[in-house]
A and B are shown apart, each in its own frame.
Chain A
Amino acid sequence: MFNKHKAVLLMLALTLMLLLSACQQAATATTEPVPTEDVVISIPTTPPVIEEPTEAPTEEPTAEPTVEPFIFGMVLVGPKNDHGWSQAHYEAGQYIEENIPGAKMIVFESLNSADKPEATLEGVVSDMVSQGATLIFTTSDEFEEDTTTVAANRPDIIFINASGDDTWDQRPNLAVKPPANLGNVMGRMEDMKAIAGCAAALTTETGSIGYLGPLINDETRRLTASAYLGARYCYDNYREETPGELKFEVSWIGFWFNIPGFTLDPTEVANQLFDGGTDVLISGIDTTEALDVAGQRAEKEEAVLAIPYDYEGACDKAPEVCLGVPFFNWGPSYLKIAQSIKDGTWEQSFEWLGPDWADMTNPDTSHVGWVNGPALTDDVKATLDTFISGLADGSINVWTGPINLQDGTEYIADGVEAPDPLIWYLPQLLEGMTGSSK
């Protein structure tokens, strides 16, 4: 009897530890490939930096003007070193710190119910406000609704939600008025995704492109569709293949990044896509699994390539298989917002900001961009450049009809360029794409 009891206790111990760690594991899993450097950040140095200027007497005879502290919050859905979506926002925060004297960022990473079940946006915002933040960036679609609620409760703080449409004058539900202290920013990623699609179409040997999608919503549908339209354009116009034979397969994992137990495992999904005949995989998720898997398979002499997403430096994780990356550069738009708040000139706005076609990698002017990866051959590079300059001068617009939805209904008529709301609120994937639309 006693032994049995012990055995049960042991089982419980094991189960309990497994389960208790399960929630935390989500965080570990997404940060896994990155060194754990962020634990070692030394604390004592940071607070004085902001304290000093306030305490300095105003009549100090130096020529330098007194630096007023400007504290802003940055709420991230994933870890700040994810080589993807969240890191791009984090570095935009650093860009503000570099460009506004006295600016200090308070970061909150991995705010999602799997990684931090005890944290809510409300709680995080109240922590940030108690530390002096007057501007808070909530950098995910996940926070869109909560941001609206919290903003309504705190009219004196300005909230910027990235990727949301609450303040867009072309949104469908115009009757719902956003709080006056809420703004939206999003990068015009569509053309960059088209470039990614084009690079994939120019490179594929099997004629089959895979797309590793996050969850399904307006944003992810339009980006996936943009990649497809770019791929179709380049496959049909630049390659000696039969037009329309390109295969484009989309698999969704169910969230922006891997949450064990809740999403499909992106590593597994990426492998399945490759197993199914895809040789170029485009990523639409926040993290770099598509590239990681391609790198692993390439080590086994497989001819596979990948295109990551979100972050300019994403190729670093497996450069030899990286065709390039469409990325966000939130720095300039965030800086402009922060500056206008500091100057007291901020006005509510919805910004959907495109690239600086003259220099897509300019950190000060281009809101989105594309960088070629090491795996891009010179031939393909040349063709891709033709495509890019076509997009830049407007002679190519992949969102020109005829475009049909996945169920066959006509969406954009022949020769018509799709207007912004039809792109933003794409209701389905497009004809020619494989994968679920809802």
Chain B
Amino acid sequence: MTDQIIRRIWPIAPISLALALITLLMIVVGANPLTVYQALFDGSFGGREQSLSTLAFWVPLLLCSTGLLVTFTAGLWNIGVEGQMIAGSLGASAVALMVAKPNPSIPGWVILPLAIVVAMLSGALWAALAAILKTRGRIHEIFGGVALNNLAAIATIYLISGPWQPPEGGSLRGTVPFPTQALFPLMGTSRFSPLSLILALVALVLVALALRGTFWGLKLKAQGKNLRSAFLLGVPSEREAINAMMVCGALAGLAGAVRVLSWFDSLRQSISGGIGFLAILVVLLAGTRPLWTLLIGLFFSALLNGGTFVHSRVQLHSSLSGLIQGTLVLFVLLLGDYTRIFRRKKTVMEAISDHE
């Protein structure tokens, strides 16, 4: 019983340990941890603008994490989520620049859904590439994903320094601002779009339900547990792997659209902002549990948003957030899997019940 409880709240352990270590570090460098945490809070939830900014950063993170729930369940390490997000941004930007800009008469309720669909398709196709490399080319999805991430980043640089370069030229900063009808409707002067959050939450609920209560979810789980057995028992593993990757890619693509169509108003270099990698960390920490995914994602978004505030207010280096993040990665890898630490050996039945 207590064992159950400990397992449920286990994701807190690495976070608390990391925070304890960071607090110690702050004291060592002569910073007052209370001031810093206060600034972190003020910068993330201290006011309307800060809260909205935290939410705006959270949405694409949530979308990517949701997608990763699918691939992790299927036993796939979709490192390529970052590239799939970039592919989505490129797709959305293409619609904004090549459809919306020359045709200002097309209303937003046509353009925005179109941009979203194209973004999701681009992300899904980019993911399918990694999946096919794996199933047909026997290239592990980690390596395929890393390569495709780089390709997507290079494509961004090419586009903003080439065909989509602003007329004044020169900079690698990004494209010209998109016309407003192509953007998500934003709250006030913030970069937060309630619509994008609704889409993300719907996606999370659907994925959670699908993984839990559908035959498809069961097939993915079986595949994730043991690919060969699942195959022998009749799961079309190649097809399901590609499907899982494409679902994740579509959600990551939507995240990319949110980045260009609400967080920014144009395509920028490093548009993904490392959110895909952060999402991997979130899902690992959450142990593929949807509710924890939601909460931990929000925590990270607050941490990163607060980090910039700490930098300008306390003049403490803003890599503090990066430091906390890095420490977390370390602790998650050390302590992340509760069962692995406390039960070195387990029976098949136990292993199955662990994942119920």
Contact = CB atoms under 8 A, between A and B. Distances in A.
Contacts of B30: 40, 42
B228 to A, nearest CB: 9
Contacts, number: 157
B308 A118 contact: yes
B173 interface: yes
A107 B317 CA distance: 11
A50 to B, nearest CB: 12
Interface residues of B, number: 69
Interface string A112-146: 01101111101110111011000000000110010
Interface in B200-231: 226
A146 to B, nearest CB: 9
A42 B31 contact: yes
B103 interface: no
A19 interface: yes
Contacts of B41: none
Q: Which of B82, B142, B278, B311 has the most CB of A within 10 A?
A: B311
Max chain B Cβ within 10 angstroms of own Cβ: one of A15, A124, A220, A261: A15
Contact of B270 (A13, A113, A219): A113
A206 interface: no
Contacts of A231: none
A107 B314 CA distance: 10
A43 B316 contact: yes
A261 B153 contact: yes
Could you say which of B36, B264, B265, B333 has the most chain A C-beta atoms within 10 Å of its C-beta?
B333
Interface in B265-321: 265, 268-275, 277-278, 280-281, 304-305, 307-309, 311-319, 321
B274 A117 contact: yes
A109 B305 contact: no
B113 interface: no
Nearest to A172: B168
B311 A117 contact: no
A220 B172 CA distance: 13
B270 A218 contact: no
Interface stretch (A20-28, A194-202, A316-324): A20-28
A13 B316 CA distance: 29
Contacts of B322: 21, 23-24
B29 A118 contact: no
B313 A127 contact: yes
A146 B216 CA distance: 46
Contacts of A416: none
Contacts of A44: 32, 35
A423 interface: no
A416 to B, nearest CB: 25
Contacts of A131: 312-313
A218 B43 CA distance: 37
Interface string A257-289: 000011100000000000000000000000000
B312 A128 contact: yes
A13 B141 CA distance: 14
A216 B170 CA distance: 4
Contacts of B36: 43
Nearest to A108: B312
Given A23-B274, A107-B315, A120-B191, A16 B281 contact: yes
A20 B325 contact: yes
Contacts of B32: 43-44
A215 B140 CA distance: 36
A39 B317 contact: yes
B77 interface: yes
A408 to B, nearest CB: 21
Contacts of B172: 215, 254-255, 262-263
Contact of A11 (B142, B153, B191, B319): B142
B138 to A, nearest CB: 14
B178 to A, nearest CB: 12
B270 A114 contact: yes
Nearest to B161: A254
Contacts of B97: none
A17 interface: yes
A126 B171 contact: no
B53 A123 contact: yes
Nearest to B48: A126
B146 A15 contact: yes
Nearest to A152: B189
A128 B49 CA distance: 12
Contact of A1 (B46, B226, B309, B333): B226
Given A43-B315, A120-B191, A262-B269, A16 B280 contact: yes
Contacts of A220: 170
A145 B177 contact: yes
Contacts of B264: 120
Interface of A: 1, 8, 11-13, 15-17, 19-24, 27, 38-44, 46, 73, 106-110, 113-114, 116-120, 122-124, 126-128, 130-131, 141-142, 145, 149, 153, 215-220, 254-255, 261-263, 438
28 contacts: A16-B79, A16-B280, A20-B325, A21-B322, A23-B270, A39-B317, A40-B29, A43-B314, A73-B312, A106-B312, A107-B315, A108-B312, A117-B270, A118-B57, A123-B308, A126-B49, A126-B50, A130-B49, A141-B171, A142-B171, A145-B177, A216-B170, A217-B171, A218-B170, A219-B170, A220-B170, A262-B269, A263-B172
| 5 nearest A-B residue pairs (beta carbon) | A217-B170, A117-B273, A118-B304, A24-B322, A119-B308
Given A17-B326, A39-B317, 17 more contacts: A16-B280, A16-B281, A19-B146, A23-B270, A24-B322, A43-B314, A46-B315, A73-B312, A113-B270, A117-B272, A117-B275, A122-B189, A216-B170, A217-B170, A220-B170, A254-B172, A438-B169
